[in-house]
């Protein structure tokens, strides 16, 4: 579980803009105690820092504010059957949503390339792919897989983790969902399933600004 959460820490929010996305007015991001019916917020999540906000604003998210939370579904009878969501989000003013998404994945690639020699560093596979699940409501959404390295000592196989990023004209969300049972088989979940979950998650954490 620690390895799965750690993957998200390698990747940082960046920024930019996209005229093809309809502007439905100012929205903000929240972190409810419960999302998607069964996921509960993890109390151990830390606070975000000013440096991340400055970087985001420089890259195209104006007046950026950041939120961050982790969610989990625990199975006390079988801890390896739990599920996780790592969420890092920004809200502000975004001229070009698709440019923001592409910038985030470019930053992720740079981080992965820089850490390629580290024993526990995940490596990106392929390139980001666009998805349009039913619950997306017009935002830009792309996902890419990162492959972790096997940990024979703890009997953890190499497995893929999906990173999904959405952007619209006021919010950006970086979501890493993990299904522990699938992870332990070495297969992980599909990018399509991760995209569908991200779209549903977005609907619960994105609300109209006051």
Q: Using CA atoms, how far apart are residues 16 and 104, in angstroms rounded to an integer?
A: 9
Task: Express as a percent the part of the chain with pLDDT over 70.
Answer: 80
Q: Where are the domains positioned within the chain?
A: 2-19+30-161+174-208
Give the DSSP H/E element, type plus range, for residue 195.
Answer: helix 191-205
pLDDT tens column, 25-75 = 999 999 999 999 999 998 765 444 555 666 677 778 999 998 999 999 987
- Cα angle 12, 165, 74 (rounded to 5 degrees) comes to 90
pLDDT tens column, 138-161 = 899 999 998 877 777 766 677 788
CB contact at 8 A, 129 and 151:
no
This prediction's pTM:
0.85
Which residues, 6+ apart, have CB-to-CB distance to 159 below 8 Å? Answer: 147, 148, 182, 183, 184, 185, 186, 187, 188
């Amino acid at each position: 579980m620690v390895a799965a959460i750690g993957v998200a820490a390698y990747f940082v929010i960046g920024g930019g803009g996209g005229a093809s996305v309809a502007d439905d007015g100012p929205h903000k991001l929240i972190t409810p105690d419960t999302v998607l019916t069964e996921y509960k917020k993890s109390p151990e999540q830390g606070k975000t820092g000013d440096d991340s906000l400055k970087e985001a604003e420089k890259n195209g998210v104006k007046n950026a504010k950041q939120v961050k939370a982790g969610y989990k579904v625990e199975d006390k009878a079988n801890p390896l059957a739990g599920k996780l969501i790592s969420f890092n989000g920004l809200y502000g003013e975004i001229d070009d949503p698709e440019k923001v998404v592409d910038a985030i994945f470019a930053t992720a690639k740079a981080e992965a390339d820089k850490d390629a020699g580290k024993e526990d560093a995940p490596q990106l596979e392929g390139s980001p792919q666009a998805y349009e699940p039913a619950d997306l409501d017009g935002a830009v959404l792309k996902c890419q897989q990162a492959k972790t390295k096997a940990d024979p000592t703890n009997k953890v196989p190499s497995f893929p983790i999906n990173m999904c990023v959405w952007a619209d004209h006021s919010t950006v969300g970086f979501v890493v969902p993990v299904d522990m049972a699938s992870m332990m088989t070495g297969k992980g979940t599909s990018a399509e399933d991760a995209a569908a979950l991200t779209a549903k998650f977005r609907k619960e954490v994105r609300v109209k600004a006051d």
